[in-house]
Amino acid sequence: MRRDKDIGIVIQGKRIITREDLFKAKERFHKEQAKLPFEEKIRIVVELQKIANNIRKPSERPGIVWDIDK
Amino acid sequence: MRETIRAINGLKKESLIEDYAIGGGIAAIFYIEPFLTYDLDVFVIPTQKEKEGSVILLTPIFDYFRNMGYSFKGEHIVIEGVPVQFIPADELEEEAVRNGKQIEYEGVETKVLPPEYLVAILLRAGRKKDIAKVESLLQQAKVNRKRLKDILRRYGLSDKLNNL
């Protein structure tokens, strides 16, 4: 019997991957992100703070965006 | 954030605290992928003279930064553009600070809590967002399981990990 994890997904051209491959790739991506230099991660945090403020409702108080260049 | 850390290091140089280490979300981010957070948690071991019975005085820290012209936002002190929360370390956190991992941020020395202690502190807090960080730490960071088990056993937290 074919299991869901073995179902092929076409992503680019003729390349076929399985759902399992997709989730493994996702996990790999998270692990790669975890290996970034600390300074780079802090820059990402600041970008996330900016994005969070931009999508905040007007009634909500904006969070502070760090000034890390000091 | 380099200048923030430099300013915090001043507390130790001025002997206003015995030691400190970065904890909370930013310490977790040192080991795992970045996520949204707004403050820098700093666990401090106060000097003996700031411990008066059951009261721990953080006033010297606040006075120090007030005199340097930094502003206050709720319980946070905004130091060089970063809101910092100073948390007096309890027994578990004090051990974590003493075993802190020495790191450099843009050439400035600081310490972050080791991942095993972060897991223990997060498990003890036990909110959904804390548990999510525990899971990320266990998946993405190099957590010494033997050391973690020992910490959890000594602080009565073993069941919290087993029940995940």
| A7-47 pLDDT, tens digit each | 776 666 777 778 788 888 888 999 999 999 999 999 999 99
Confidence band (pLDDT; 50, 70, 90) for B138?
very high
A37-58 mean pLDDT = 92
Q: Which residue of B has its CA nearest to A49?
A: B36
Question: How large is the average pLDDT for residues B136-150?
Answer: 96
Say if the Cβ atoms of B30 and A45 lie within 8 Å: no
Whole-angstrom distance, CA of residue B1 vs CA of residue B80: 7
For the segment B81-90, the average pLDDT, to the nearest whole number, is: 95
Q: What pLDDT score was predicted for residue B120? A: 98
Question: Closest by alpha carbon to B96, among B145, B148, B61?
Answer: B148
> How many beta carbons lie within 10 A of that of residue A12, not counting itself?
7
**Average pLDDT of chain A, as a whole number:** 83
According to the model, what pLDDT value does residue B76 have? 92
Judged by DSSP in three states, A64 sits in coil
Is the pLDDT higher at B137 or at B55? B137
Residue A50's pLDDT is 93
Mean pLDDT of B122-136: 95
C-alpha–C-alpha distance, residues B124 and B117, integer Å: 10
Contact A33 B29 (CB under 8 A): no
Contact call for A49 and B36, based on CB within 8 A: yes
- What residues contact B73, with CB distance under 8 A and at least 6 apart? A64, B83
pLDDT digits (tens, 9 = 90+) for B33-45: 999 999 999 999 9
Mean pLDDT along residues B121-143: 95
Cα separation, B125 vs B114, whole angstroms: 17
B84: nearest CA in chain A?
A66
Amino acid identity, position A12? Q
Q: Would the CB atoms of A38 and B103 count as touching at under 8 Å?
A: yes
B38 vs A39, A42, A64: nearest CB:
A64
**Residue B124 pLDDT more than 90?**
yes
DSSP code, position B100? P
Distance, in Å, from the CA atom of B3 to the CA atom of A64, rounded to the nearest integer, reads 17
Q: What is the pLDDT of residue A6?
A: 67
Find, among B106, B27, B95, the residue nearest to A40 by Cα: B106
Mean pLDDT of B25-30: 97
Gap between the Cα atoms of B20 and B94, Å rounded:
9
Using CA atoms, how far apart are residues B102 and B109, in angstroms rounded to an integer? 7
Q: Could you report the predicted ipTM of this complex, rounded to two decimals?
A: 0.86
Among the residue ranges A40-49, A58-67, B150-159, the one predicted with the least confidence is A58-67
